[in-house]
Amino acid sequence: MEKHIPVLLNESIEYLNIKDNGIYVDCTLGRAGHSSEILKKLKDGKLFSIDQDETAILEGTEKLTKISNDFKILEGNFVNISAMLAMQGIFEVDGILYDLGVSSPQFDVAERGFSYRFDGPLDMRMDRANNSLTAHKIVNEYTQEELEQILWNYGDEKFARSIAKNIILSRPINTTFELVSVIKKSLPSKILKQQKHPAKKTFQALRIRVNNEMETLESSLEQSLNLLKPKGRVVVITFHSLEEKVVKNIFKKYTLDEQQFYLSNLPYEIESSKDFKLLFKKPLKPTNTEVENNNRSHSAKLWVIEKK
Ligand SMILES: C[S@@+](CC[C@H](N)C(=O)[O-])C[C@H]1O[C@@H](n2cnc3c(N)ncnc32)[C@H](O)[C@@H]1O
């Protein structure tokens, strides 16, 4: 199985600005790449690592235990971050990290159904214990209009109508490869000849819908901003334009006064009266070397906001 190489690792740790006695939250434990580095920097501090995937919890715990005991794993969805921390008696923190999306091991296990590269059941749930909505249910039970909207909204798929129509005509569709062949049938040959996999957009769209990713991120980010101590930071690594849009909108809302929304093209800055500031206006991107070594990082962007 492919190893999960953490994306923008040095940059995200640097911008979390870790104090050795601080309290930090990693909302996306995964294989503990980022959590491990945070934990190594703590002396009297504490790390809370969240994940909704039981395999991530098992493997992440094993990895962190080898570093120190200054961590607590919280199993669940980061949409409940405030409540999960409150249960631990924590109401404010020094830094919160999100490394969004699916981890390489999730992608690489055919049975999870995330990947168009492996044949498996149409599942795509990160949280198999609590989420009853699978990709199979969407593909086999939703109306053509609902499917079209999902593919359009979450995959930016120009051929959403044709794919949705063929899905309805090809039911039942049980496996990832069956879905891939329906998608291929629905696309013009010039698109099929492109380097990008023809099923990429549809699979992304289904995954986002199955895991309710956008609404979850929006709500969680707002909670995170309200959990920060002064000088505390939220650091987010995004992988596609929909995630970027959610982060950008919330960060704007919390850093810009109303007039700045309208005057944002002025050549000079107006001091904002808001409680938060952006560390840099445009997100950071990985270096060429990182992209060469880890293909998963090619679309990654790092966003940082600080409580004043
Ligand atoms: C890209 S991986 C994180 C990788 C990790 N930073 C590392 O270096 O190993 C994203 C992880 O976040 C988890 N995840 C995604 N959305 C989540 C959510 N809403 N709540 C909890 N965990 C989530 C996924 O299950 C996955 O394990």
> Does the structure show a pLDDT above 60 at 104?
yes
Q: How far is CA 33 from the centre of its chain?
A: 15
- How far away, in angstroms, is 63 Cα from ligand 1 center? 15
Dist. CA 71–CA 54, nearest whole Å: 17
30 close to ligand 1 (CB < 6 Angstrom): yes
Least confident of 11-20, 168-177, 287-296: 287-296
For the CA of 237, the nearest atom of ligand 1: 1
Tell me what percent of the residues of the chain surpass a pLDDT of 90.
Answer: 87
Q: Give start-end residues of each CATH 3.40.50.150 domain in the chain.
A: 9-105+213-307
Band (107; pLDDT cuts 50, 70, 90): confident
160 annotated binding-site participant:
no
Quick check: 212 and 78 in contact, CB under 8 A?
no
C-alpha distance from residue 114 to each of 71, 120, 148, 179, 207 (Å): 29, 9, 19, 12, 7
**Residue having the nearest C-alpha atom to atom 13 of ligand 1:** 28
- Determine phi and psi for 303, rounding to 5 degrees: -120, 135
The class (CATH top level) of 132-210 is: mainly alpha
Please tell me the predicted confidence (pLDDT) of residue 296: 87
Please tell me the predicted confidence (pLDDT) of residue 273: 79
- How far away, in angstroms, is 186 Cα from ligand 1 center? 32
Residue among 126, 209, 297 to mutate when testing ligand 1 (max atoms within 8 A of CB): 126
> Does the structure show a pLDDT above 90 at 281?
no
276 close to ligand 1 (CB < 6 Angstrom): no
94 close to ligand 1 (CB < 6 Angstrom): no
Quick check: 7 and 286 in contact, CB under 8 A?
yes
The domain over range 9-105+213-307 is classified in CATH as 3.40.50.620: no
Q: Give start-end residues of each CATH 1.10.150.170 domain in the chain.
A: 132-210
> Does the structure show a pLDDT above 80 at 293?
yes
For the stretch 132-179, pLDDT in tens is: 999 999 999 999 999 999 999 999 999 999 999 999 999 999 999 999
207 close to ligand 1 (CB < 6 Angstrom): no
Beta-carbon count within 10 A of 242 CB: 19
- Determine phi and psi for 239, rounding to 5 degrees: -125, -10
Please tell me the predicted confidence (pLDDT) of residue 59: 94
Annotate 2-33 with b (16+ C-beta within 10 A) or e (fewer): eebebbbbebbbebbbbbeebbbbbbbbbbbb
Parallel, antiparallel, or unpaired: how do β-strands 23-26 and 276-278 relate? Answer: unpaired
216 close to ligand 1 (CB < 6 Angstrom): yes
Please tell me the predicted confidence (pLDDT) of residue 101: 87
For the stretch 56-73, pLDDT in tens is: 999 999 999 999 999 999
Dist. CA 215–CA 76, nearest whole Å: 16
For the stretch 222-231, pLDDT in tens is: 999 999 999 9
Band (103; pLDDT cuts 50, 70, 90): confident
Band (307; pLDDT cuts 50, 70, 90): very high
Nearest to 298 by CA among 98, 28, 7, 14: 7
31 close to ligand 1 (CB < 6 Angstrom): yes
Band (266; pLDDT cuts 50, 70, 90): low
Mean pLDDT, the chain, rounded, equals: 94
- How far away, in angstroms, is 231 Cα from ligand 1 center? 25
- Residue 58 per-residue DSSP state: H
Nearest to 141 by CA among 180, 109, 171, 175: 171
51 close to ligand 1 (CB < 6 Angstrom): yes
Quick check: 33 and 24 in contact, CB under 8 A?
no
> Does the structure show a pLDDT above 70 at 270?
no
Nearest to 308 by CA among 281, 279, 280, 277: 277
pTM: 0.93
34 annotated binding-site participant:
yes
> Does the structure show a pLDDT above 80 at 17?
yes
> Does the structure show a pLDDT above 70 at 2?
no
- How far away, in angstroms, is 81 Cα from ligand 1 center? 13
> Does the structure show a pLDDT above 60 at 105?
yes
